[in-house]
Structure 1
Amino acid sequence: MANINVDNFSNAAQSESQYVLAPLPYADNALEPVISAHTLSFHYGKHHKAYVDNLNNLVTGTEFAGQSLEKIILATAGRADKAAIFNNAAQVWNHMFYWHSLSPNGGQPSAVLKQKIEASFGSLDACKKEFATAAMTQFGSGWAWLVLDGDKISVAKTANADSPLTKNIRPLLTIDVWEHAYYLDYQNRRVDYVNTILDKLINWDFANANLG
């Protein structure tokens, strides 16, 4: 599981024709004190698991059964009649991506990634500031993303279950800004949650792997 990246998430989330709750890449207390084991027990063990269970119930006996998460997401995006399938498949994928975007030992951007970041933002600090701004200004539930759009590194934000996958943009990192991601530890202080993640837990090794 240590080498997982954006290209092999579906392998980790599937077991034959069923979708599974892929294991966390660290112990449930490994992100403390930034994110508590108590928060992880609810966020991963309850919220993420519910999306997996819902997806299995929704796709059993349909043309989507056994398909990769990415295929389901792309096939159902923007379709009102498939909104429930999209929301649950995308949230399974988004949460997996989020867990791997965090690490107690996240390393540093590779030389290639740092060069691209500096070309796009001027500096790594400026990149992190814009990433934080996207996370803080996403209204309501959603996600902030560091992405590779063509050859340029940029920041994006999406609402609810949406992700850059639906726009053919390659995600490198994400921060979950649904309230359940931080409320037990930070209450309404989203700004503290976001800044502390970027300072202490963001997994640059994962971003390096996703850059390809």
Structure 2
Amino acid sequence: MDKMNFNLSRRAFLANTSKTGLALSLGGTAILSACSGDVKGDAQSVLATSMTQTPLAFDFSALEPHIDAMTMEIHFTKHAAGYAKNLNDAMGEEQVDSSRSLEDILGNISKFSTKMRNNGGGHYNHELFWKVMTPDAAERPDGDLAEAINSSFGSFEEFASQFETAAKTRFGSGWAWLVVGADKKLAIGSTPNQDNPLMDISDFKGTPLLGLDVWEHAYYLNYQNRRADYVSAFWNIVNWKTVAERFAAASM
């Protein structure tokens, strides 16, 4: 994989905070943003999620054989599209300020309806899911993210094993996560249904870097009941560049 250049080093961040700075508290984690157009891929833009569905960056068939085209098409155009629509319906029904960020809503989700929780979480989770997959995946991360994984878990192999365990053992439907916690350390966990680590009601909190959908609709056409095979195949399509960009932004 090409050497990553994110221009998100501590030095670059400190240099730009003299212009503008913003701290967002998200479910016990802090995301610091330089809020400056002079910083490529600044923390705010890297970590922010649109309220509407973002077009896929690849064709439905691009992730084959690991995820088949029909699953991708149904997943994106039916399931994910439904979450996006229902999220915006809930915002209208609950008279939520349209300028409010999705991350802020999720960080205070206990104040909102079940409809907002399910669809706000579903939309956020899927928007992240599409971003952290690519047909041009590197075998593993490098740079600062690789060092952080080795520091937190001992090795990439141990990290992958723990992540797979979180995904395979999530009872019923849900998600497996790699996050940066409030202590700026990496952690692995899972959440049920469409909950995620940004939510104030979640037992597992942090800023998501990598998320894996383990709802049956994400894999059943190809893998049937073999969730473990789907989870193992995921490593072939992880977009480590995007994960590393999120890590750099969340670690500021």
Please report the TM-score for the alignment, with normalisation by the length of structure 2: 0.74
Which residue of 1 is the match for residue 229 of structure 2?
Answer: 192
Alpha-carbon spacing, 1:112–1:195, altered in 2? closer, same or farther (3 Å): same
- Equivalent pairs counted in the alignment come to 202
1:53 counterpart residue number: 85
Distance 1:4 1:174 in 2: 20
Q: Displacement of 1:122 after TM fit?
A: 1.0
CA contact (8 A) 1:145 1:174 kept: yes
Quick one: which amino acid aligns to residue 195 of structure 2?
D
Displaced runs of 4 or more, over 2 A: 3-13
Q: How many percent of aligned residue pairs carry the same amino acid?
A: 37
Q: Secondary structure at the match of 2:151?
A: helix
**Structure 2: which 5+ residue stretches go unaligned?**
1-39
Letter in 2 for 1:68: S
Question: 1:59: how far off?
Answer: 1.6
Distance 1:54 1:62 in 2: 12
Residue aligning to 1:172: 209
Give the C-alpha shift of residue 42 in structure 1: 0.7
Asked if 1:157 corresponds to 2:193, the answer is no
- Measure how far apart 1:138 and its partner are: 0.4
Question: 1:201 and 1:53 mapped to 2: Cα distance?
Answer: 27
The residue number in structure 2 matching 1:16 is none
Q: Which has the larger radius of gyration?
A: 2
Among 165, 181, 193, the residue aligned to 1:133 = 165
- Residue matched to 2:120: 89
TM-score of the aligned structures, taking structure 1 as reference length:
0.87
1:63-96 deviations in whole A, cap 9, x for unaligned? 31412211221222x34x6111121011101001
> Unmatched 5+ residue regions in structure 1?
14-18
* 1:105-157 CA-partner distances (Å, limit 9, x unpaired): 23342321111111111110110111011000000110001111223222110
Residue 5 (structure 1) shift: 9.2
- What is the match of residue 242 of structure 2? 206
- Report the Cα offset of residue 4 of structure 1: 7.7
